[in-house]
């Protein structure tokens, strides 16, 4: 569990508690805006060991994980690819390897640039009259759905999916696709599609090979 710039130590403690409830123990705090104080330990109850083992870092590096999952309270519209989301229940079958679940600030959540680095975005379906949940409650729902996750599926790792994206980007470069904003949207959409698809390693290699063949064919035509 990764908390980006958490603002209230009570919520950190409550999250530690639900983590232990469902068998999770690795808590990372990225540039926290509060200290782990007395309120955190009171809220953690019997999960004080999770708090004591929490790792504090200045920045989050997505390349250390096979899957990075962002969370949002706002659903994505037709033109908001960053916030296209799935439910916690749908998420369960799409992960393997080392996974980071990102929760944003209590005040504003995750920023757009943080959502862009995520392979998947998840949102808890809530009432339109009051869609925003307390961060620890949302965390509990998500961890409940993921608590039975087994390492039965060996999905393509980050570097294998990135190889597909790299080849796709080279194809766009070869056709001289110059609209930077559209190119960025295309690659972000492809990233999310590949992650939702639950690609196996062989499938990722096949897709990367297809884009490579397209790129090579286009280069040969240009000679």
Last residue of a domain, one of 93, 126, 146: 146
Residue 153's pLDDT is 60
Domain boundary among 146, 174, 207: 146
**For the segment 115-166, what is each residue's pLDDT rounded down to a tens digit?**
999 999 999 999 888 888 999 999 999 999 998 655 556 788 889 999 999 9
SS (H, E, C) the chain: CEEECCCCHHHHHHHHHHHHHCCCCCCEEECCCCCCCHHHHHHHHHHHHHHHCCEEECCCCHHHCCEEEEECCCCCCCCCHHHCCECHHHHHHHCCCCEEEEECECCCECCHHHHHCCCEEECCCCCCCCCCCCHHHHHHHHHHHHCCCCCCCCECCHHHHHHHHHHHHHHHHHCCCCCHHHHHHHHHHHHHHHHHHCCEHHHHHHHHHHHHHHHHHHHHHHC
Model-level pTM?
A: 0.79
Looking at the structure, tell me whether residues 11 and 71 fall in a common domain. Answer: yes
Show the domain range for 189. Answer: 158-222
C-alpha closest to that of 6 among 73, 57, 79: 57
77 has a pLDDT exceeding 70: no
The position carrying tokens 């996974």 is 99
Note whether 137 and 201 are same-domain residues: no
Same domain, 131 and 44: yes
- Which residue, of 146, 177, 196, is where some domain finishes? 146
What is the count of structural domains for the chain? 2
């Amino acid at each position: 569990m990764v908390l980006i710039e958490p603002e209230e130590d009570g919520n950190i403690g409550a999250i530690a508690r639900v983590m232990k409830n469902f068998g999770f123990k690795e808590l990372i705090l990225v540039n926290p805006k509060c200290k782990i104080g007395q309120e955190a330990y009171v809220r953690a109850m019997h999960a004080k060991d999770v708090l004591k083992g929490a790792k504090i870092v200045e920045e989050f590096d997505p390349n250390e994980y096979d899957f990075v999952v962002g969370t949002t309270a706002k659903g994505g519209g037709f033109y908001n690819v960053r916030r296209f989301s799935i439910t916690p229940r749908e998420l369960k079958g799409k992960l393997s390897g080392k996974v980071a679940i990102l929760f944003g600030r209590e005040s504003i959540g995750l920023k757009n640039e943080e959502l862009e680095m995520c392979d998947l975005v998840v949102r808890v379906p809530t009432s339109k009259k009051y869609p925003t949940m307390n961060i620890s409650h949302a965390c509990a729902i998500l961890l409940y759905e993921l608590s039975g996750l087994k390492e039965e599926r060996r999905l393509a790792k980050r570097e294998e999916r990135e190889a597909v994206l790299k080849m796709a980007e080279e194809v766009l470069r070869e056709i001289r696709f110059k609209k930077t904003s559209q190119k960025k949207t295309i690659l972000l959409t492809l990233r999310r599609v590949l992650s939702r698809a639950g690609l196996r390693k062989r499938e990722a290699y096949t897709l990367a090979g297809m884009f490579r063949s397209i790129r090579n064919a286009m280069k040969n035509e240009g000679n």
